[in-house]
Structure 1
């Protein structure tokens, strides 16, 4: 199977294990000149956050490191702070001028997705650029 090709791809990662599986899938299925890896820290919007900012920034750094190790090339990284993950990703893609968003699906059962809404669904419905759902992930 031929690989798809984009000039600049924005790739969200949620954890170090997610970063590893996403990097493997990206390397196997897409050719790109530039990759920006993004970790979204979901802010509570006035309520106490689930974890401290420093702890979340450390988790993002670990995910970025694992992505680069697995992908085998240097990538740009960014931490985005938003009250909504999909909104943060869409804004980041616009800000860096990404041609496409590429990710592996995240876990969560149908009931969880029903209650919280689906980030994947929002990305597919609300984006102004191609979205590549890579095989793999924990679905």
Structure 2
């Protein structure tokens, strides 16, 4: 099947963007995605920039986290591409990156957390699912996700 994310006839697993936060998250997410055998994978790490306020993590440390995350994804998907975004709005950066690499879908693994943490973070999962312009695949949790 041929198409883009705008067409329901496109192959959902043609090119998946996988947002990853750190090495542990990256390997768990890649392993959860592996059984679905996507054609192409792009690992995405968003470096949260403060835009007028101090950064949560120094940029150099965030870039190191990104490199470790990409290496973890490549343990499962050796030919995975990587993409680093710099933004305050993580979900917006995921959408922009998916556009930039022409992804057919976004696949993520919920990081959970209690309701207070979800409220404080603006519940990124909810935004990701409800505001996306392409399919969003919520990968199942594994036994090791607790």
Normalised to the residue count of structure 1, the TM-score between the two structures is 0.90
Residue in structure 1 matched with residue 7 of structure 2 by the alignment: none
CA contact (8 A) 2:12 2:135 kept: no
Report the Cα distance in structure 2 between the residues aligned to 1:5 and 1:93, rounded to whole angstroms. 13
Q: Please list the CA deviations of residues 5-43 of structure 1 after superposition, one character each: whole Å capped at 9, or x if unmatched.
A: 511000000010000100100102x22211110000111
Residue in structure 1 matched with residue 72 of structure 2 by the alignment: 66
Residue in structure 2 matched with residue 106 of structure 1 by the alignment: 111
Residue in structure 2 matched with residue 54 of structure 1 by the alignment: 60
Report the Cα distance in structure 1 between the residues aligned to 2:102 and 2:54, rounded to whole angstroms. 32
Unaligned runs of 5+ in 2: 1-10
Question: Is the aligned partner of 1:14 residue 2:18?
Answer: no
CA, structure 1 residues 117+14, in 2 after alignment: closer, same or farther (shift >3 Å)? same
Report the Cα distance in structure 1 between the residues aligned to 2:120 and 2:85, rounded to whole angstroms. 24
- Across the aligned residues of Structure 1 and Structure 2, the Cα RMSD in angstroms comes to 1.6
2:133 counterpart (125, 128, 134): 128
Unaligned runs of 5+ in 1: none
Report the Cα distance in structure 1 between the residues aligned to 2:47 and 2:86, rounded to whole angstroms. 5
More strand by share: 1
Question: Is the aligned partner of 1:41 residue 2:47?
Answer: yes
Count of residue pairs brought into register by the alignment: 134
Cα shift at 1:108: 2.0
